[in-house]
Amino acid sequence: MDEVIRARGHENVSAEHASTFEVTTDDYLTPAGDCILAVEADRAPADFDPEFVEACRDADATITVTIEAGGYAESVTGRGDPDLEFANERSAVGRTSEYVDDRTVVVDSEFAAEGFDRDLVAALADGAEATVTITVE
Under 8 Å between Cβ of 8 and 127: yes
86: CATH: 2.60.120.630
CA distance 82 to 60: 10
Write the single-letter amino acid at 48.
Answer: F
Split into its structural domains, the chain has a count of 1
Confidence bin at 111 (pLDDT 50/70/90) = very high
Give the residues across from 69 on adjacent strands: 72, 130
Under 8 Å between Cβ of 106 and 94: yes
pLDDT of residue 122: 98
DSSP state of 12: T
What is the pTM assigned to this prediction? 0.97
Share of the chain above pLDDT 70, in %: 100
- Give the residue numbers spanning the domain of 57: 2-136
Mean pLDDT of the chain: 98
pLDDT of residue 118: 98
**CA angle, 103 as apex, 60 and 54 as ends, to 5°?**
40
Convert the pLDDT of each residue in 68-110 to its tens digit: 999 999 999 999 999 999 999 999 999 999 999 999 999 999 9
